[in-house]
Amino acid sequence: MLRLHRSHEASQRVNERAMIVRVPPAPEVEPVGSYSLKATSLVDAPLCPKGLILMCGQMGSLSRDLGDWADRMRAVVMVVSENSMTLDWLRAYAPKLDFLLVDSDYLGDTESTIDFCMKVRRATPRLPIVLVSSEIRSHDFTCERMMACDVTLKPPLLHTALTLGVQAAYQNNDYYQTSR
């Protein structure tokens, strides 16, 4: 399902919000704990330059959280089921997508989710993958699961966590590209 409708008032509010995340520039920032973000990579980086986010899941609270965030980024969220999203279709449209968000709770068990993510990763290695799962303890912005996804987030998706997660996904996907 493609979510494209926006009222004029909603569009005006979105236009008033900043699309760019700015952090104080630092010469070099050491990772804190399990966070792998580098602040210098985040300065003035648009989060959704293409304006299209693909979510594998179903309409519900997660898609609403993502949709609210996407409105701030002037992006559109397209929600599809894993059965509707063939790998050939994904290969064809991946260059037009900013990132793929996978709802692990929708897909079912952990093994099925990891298998799905690994198939997507092999088919479209340049597409950042954000995995959302209620079974993890906390957000994981590291590269530990890079064979399947770029970051793992725990719902509910607050704007700050999603912003940091997407930034880390871009950064981790770049690392994945250079390491393979």
Give me the pLDDT at residue 45, please: 59
Give me the pLDDT at residue 20, please: 38
Mean pLDDT of all residues in 140-160: 90
CA atoms of 128 and 67, how far apart (whole Å): 18
Give me the pLDDT at residue 137, please: 86
Residue 55: strand pairing partners? 79, 101
Domain assignments of the chain as residue spans, ordered by start = 8-179
Who has greater pLDDT, 151 or 140?
Answer: 151
Q: Which residues contact 78 (CB under 8 A, 6 or more apart)?
A: 1, 2, 3, 52, 53, 54, 55
Token couple for 70: 């996407």
User: pLDDT grade, residue 135 (50/70/90)?
Assistant: confident
Please check whether residue 137 is in contact with residue 156, taking contact to mean a CB–CB distance below 8 angstroms.
no
User: pLDDT grade, residue 10 (50/70/90)?
Assistant: very low
Q: What does the pLDDT look like over 14-46, one tens digit per residue?
A: 444 433 333 333 344 444 444 455 544 544 557
Mean pLDDT of all residues in 156-178: 92
Who has greater pLDDT, 150 or 146?
Answer: 150
Q: What does the pLDDT look like over 76-134, one tens digit per residue?
A: 999 998 888 899 999 999 999 999 999 998 988 888 999 999 999 999 999 999 999 98
pLDDT at 157 over 50: yes
Give me the pLDDT at residue 21, please: 37
Give me the pLDDT at residue 38, please: 54
SS3 101: strand
Mean pLDDT of all residues in 57-73: 92
Please state whether the predicted TM-score (pTM) of the whole model is above 0.85.
no
- Second CATH level (architecture) for the domain 8-179: 3-Layer(aba) Sandwich (3.40)
